[in-house]
Amino acid sequence: MTKRFDGQVVLITGASSGIGRTTAVAFAREGARLVVTGRRREQLDDTLAQIQAAGAEGVAVVGDVSQAVDVRRMVDAAVNTFGALHCAFNNAGIEGGKAFVPTADYDEDIWDEVVAINLTGVFLSMKYEIRQMLVQGGGAIVNMSSVAGLIGTRIGIGYGATKHGVIGATKAAAMEYAAQGIRVNAVCPGVVRTEMTERAFFHDAQLAAAMTARHPIGRLVTSEEVAAAVLWLSSSDASATTGLALPVDGGLTVP
């Protein structure tokens, strides 16, 4: 039986845990060949083992998305190992220090770090992925934004600003390359329980309950639900969809 991504080469940043890892395994189950990247070798190897257990091929590349030289290595690894790059999920991101620190108290070093990873990382990833996709004559990119890229939140100015920025960057690249067969979209998840939100919210039972209650569906979003949206946006089923910032948020941004 043919699978949705049979033979396609998919690059995922920040695949050593959380939504990135779940999405890598979801692509693997659909027949893709994976290039998984992140900063932590051991965790990336765990992701790779899960990809192989799903019956797919993969390669792990350790690197930092805020460094152009590392991002070029990630894209080169796709081409050198599998000969192409069809899809990319630019997922790597950080919360930017402690949650709910207001702007007047927000640390300048944390601002620089969160901009470097969440926004410059997405720009650099798109830059080198698109160069390869132009050579091949097309491709599909999904960038990781957040509900914090669609509405105002008090999570932290760095996070909100960069996640709004990801949507702006997504729309710009979508317009620039639509005629060349490269689609660029973004996903905007509600709260998913991962290492990042464990640090930010779930250490505090009251805060965890408040975050959960913000979702009209009455529960958190799962990483599998985000992965399903990423796979759809990456697939030929979404062939007329580009420049979209798709909420996967249980209705959080509706009211």
Ligand X SMILES: NC(=O)c1ccc[n+]([C@@H]2O[C@H](COP(=O)([O-])OP(=O)(O)OC[C@H]3O[C@@H](n4cnc5c(N)ncnc54)[C@H](O)[C@@H]3O)[C@@H](O)[C@H]2O)c1
Residue from 6, 176, 195, 224 touching ligand X (CB under 6 A): that is 195
Of 70, 177, 81, 164, the residue nearest 118 (C-alpha): 164
Selected range binding ligand X among 15-23, 51-59, 167-175, 231-239, rule: CB under 6 A: 15-23
Tell me if 139 contacts ligand X by CB under 6 A.
no
Adjacent-strand bridge partners of 60:
36
Which two three-digit tokens encode residue 180? 């060349």
Of 220, 185, 228, 227, the residue nearest 200 (C-alpha): 220
State how far the Cα of 224 lies from the Cα of 168, in Å rounded to an integer: 25
Residue from 48, 59, 144, 186 touching ligand X (CB under 6 A): that is 144
Catalytic residue among 106, 128, 159, 177: 159
Tell me if 13 contacts ligand X by CB under 6 A.
yes
Q: Is residue 159 annotated as a catalytic residue, yes or no?
A: yes
Tell me if 156 contacts ligand X by CB under 6 A.
no
Residue from 39, 72, 73, 171 touching ligand X (CB under 6 A): that is 39
Residue from 35, 77, 99, 117 touching ligand X (CB under 6 A): that is 117
Least distance in angstroms from the C-beta of 14 to ligand X: 3
Do 189 and 248 touch, CB atoms closer than 8 A? yes
Which two three-digit tokens encode residue 37? 């990247």
Of 223, 217, 229, 214, the residue nearest 196 (C-alpha): 223
Residue from 153, 170, 197, 242 touching ligand X (CB under 6 A): that is 197
State how far the Cα of 229 lies from the Cα of 186, in Å rounded to an integer: 10
State how far the Cα of 193 lies from the Cα of 110, in Å rounded to an integer: 23
Residue from 125, 185, 194, 234 touching ligand X (CB under 6 A): that is 194
Selected range binding ligand X among 4-12, 80-88, 100-108, 186-194, rule: CB under 6 A: 186-194
The residue count for the chain: 255
Least distance in angstroms from the C-beta of 7 to ligand X: 26
By CB under 6 A, the count of residues binding ligand X is 28
Tell me if 11 contacts ligand X by CB under 6 A.
no
Tell me if 97 contacts ligand X by CB under 6 A.
no
Residue from 10, 19, 114, 173 touching ligand X (CB under 6 A): that is 19
For residue 42, which amino acid is it? Answer: E
State how far the Cα of 53 lies from the Cα of 48, in Å rounded to an integer: 9
| Residue number, 63 or 139, with CB nearest to ligand X | 63
CA dihedral 42, 46, 47, 51 (to 10 degrees): 140
State how far the Cα of 24 lies from the Cα of 33, in Å rounded to an integer: 9
Report the interface residues with ligand X, using CB under 6 A.
Answer: 13-14, 16-20, 38-40, 64-66, 91-94, 117, 121, 144, 146, 189, 191-192, 194-197
What is the set of active-site residues?
159
